[in-house]
Structure 1
């Protein structure tokens, strides 16, 4: 097993302990209502407020509740899908993250409040993500970047696959995404007991999301199982090193490149799943968030700053 006391620095451990004060390790053993309550309390505790000049307004796109963040003279739009295992989270959970993306990139950001499991199992969240994204593209012509963390990274990749020939996708940015990798190999085993997310929790969220009859290799739920990765927009994917999902982003980027696409994989050393909330207190996370927003901004401009290297 990895020595997390060596891999994870003191600042990051402090962030982990702060997170556990609000969202304890046994959270998935509680009722869904309790999980949502403690997750919401955690998100409020870590909320950083809005940067100057950013405004937000709730509105529906494609019949799906969304929140639109605007700064001055936005020329591109980011559609953001929040994390939370398809079970927790919403417009408030990633509110300040979306506001900071707006301020840092100069892009308009539209956050999607997709339906959650178990009340609404797959493909409900996917259907909402597709509907909202199509409506956003119609409302704001111009470059479109899809972005999301964890479950939201899954949705971003699934939407990109479904709309790659239809919408003006400038790129996608996936942050510690769960993309349907093999849970019996690689990082799923080597980081099965990682802080912040365990393999058992990954399996729990996967089970609670799926409706009866949904196949494990359904590409709308597991983008790594797509029949083809050709034609996808430029992709930048970030893995936390200490995360059972770490291999998913790496494998996805390799598959995109193998079919002639542009993809760049970033392994964030010593970081853990769900690290975005620590961006104001942890140097490693602040640096990663800078890389994430730089990737979004570059794709929105039509730039590819990574050369042609293989991930």
Structure 2
């Protein structure tokens, strides 16, 4: 038997005797994600959002008042009658106009403050951490505390009227009358501009520092850097901040309630305020539920538009 035959047989025997190759363990992506981990979040979402939403829709279809609240499951079914009453016999459209005007004005006036604060604190300097912390103070204070403080400041003959009289503006009625709307706007701007500042600062953090250094070496002015580098990169975060701010302002109930109390001037009765009055002042809970559902539908419109715009932008980039 030749040496080549012996060698080939021994190699075949080693190949036969060798253990089979071990199967590689599938990665998480191949095995499938552990969807059971979503169960706690789904339960929480169901309990906090879905069940109250279904109950609100059902209550809006009932003639639910202080007389039928004890047996509300057996309250008279009136279908869409509450919605008709809300649209035709209440101050719904006035409250809608107040809410939209107040939210848009507060957001538009907060944008330059927040953007300027983010640009100022973007570059490193001594004490930057302290300045950033101070900028967040209005945002972290609870709305109840903010409204209570400003209610005290704007009392007739208080600090606010004294400060304005120093500049030649003499007006004592800031918590009532036509100035009440602007009081709401001023306080909301003071409390909410740090949110614009935070998202704008997050957008600035995505810009590489070398870009500014290269622009400075090329002799690009600061105004040109703002137009060509800063603003294009903070457009997405700023748009998100605007949408969230508008929705947050419209939904703000604590601020006007604590700031003005009940009865409040008509020019500060936002949609949440109107819902509260209908439900817990005149005790027409079905009417209040219908107002809340209509408010939810209207609030979903700008959110859907924003999500649609974001989807189109992602599609263009792809």
Could you say which TM-score interval applies, normalised by the shorter chain?
under 0.3
Of Structure 1 and Structure 2, the greater helix share is in 2
Q: Which structure has greater strand proportion?
A: 1
Bigger CA radius of gyration:
2
